[in-house]
Amino acid sequence: MYSYALLEPECYYLVQEKENEPLTLLQVKVVSDTSMYVIKYGETEVSEWKLKTDYIKDIIELLSDDVARQWMKIYYSNEDAYYEEDDD
């Protein structure tokens, strides 16, 4: 078992928070003395505070900058597909 305290700000991580749950991609945005503000990426973005002592079952991978850029390009291009432009 790991904890959020191991995660570094502005980095993207693939984690499994609990046993038998799917992988989650998250990014640490803010770190305080006791907590971390993280963004979880899925069908929608979820932002939340986590205690540094909160457990993570497994830290699968720290994404390299190149992989993170590739993922962002795909993620945000797919997000745009949900919005149609108005023909006003």
Average pLDDT in the chain: 88
Average of per-residue pLDDT across 24-48 = 94
Read off the pLDDT of residues 15-33 as tens digits, 9 standing for 90 and up: 999 999 999 999 999 999 9
More confident residue, 82 or 2: 2
81 pLDDT band, cuts 50/70/90, is: low
- 29-34's contacts with Cβ under 8 Å and 24+ in sequence apart are none
Contacts (Cβ under 8 Å, ≥6 apart) of 82: none
Rounded distance, CA 88 to CA 71, Å?
33
Residue 27 contacts residue 68 (beta carbons within 8 Å): no
Nearest to 45 by CA among 65, 29, 62: 29
Residue 53: per-residue pLDDT: 97
Q: What is the per-residue pLDDT for 73?
A: 87
